[in-house]
Amino acid sequence: MRFLLRFASLVALVVAVVAGTIDSIQSVAASAVVMTPMGDAWKDVSPSSLATVQSLISYYIHPRLYDMAMQWLLFQPAFAVFLVLSLLLWMVAYKKPPVAGRFSV
């Protein structure tokens, strides 16, 4: 399980770096800071899944949760969202070193 979480963390980190690179290229081209919101990036990649997630959250959890949490999340920069996701996945998969040292059982 730890391997899968670390792999998912790596994938999220790669996506964050790609999103940050795209934003930096657009910023240089526009001569202004450009940060793509998560919602716009998600719509560009898969608009049907965004609508599916909205309907699932509204139906199974609560309609106001989508309005509050998801709308806030979708306005954040895509690279930052994936960086935080990568960090959280890495923290869950982290294995603490043994207290007694390297050669203890």
pLDDT at 95: 83
pLDDT at 53: 87
pLDDT at 82: 95
pLDDT at 70: 83
pLDDT at 83: 96
pLDDT tens for the 105 residues of the chain, in order = 889 999 999 999 999 999 999 999 999 999 999 999 998 998 999 889 988 988 888 888 887 877 788 888 889 999 999 999 999 999 999 887 777 766 665
Whether 79 contacts 16, CB under 8 Å: yes
38 CB neighbour count, 10 Å cutoff: 21
pLDDT at 101: 67
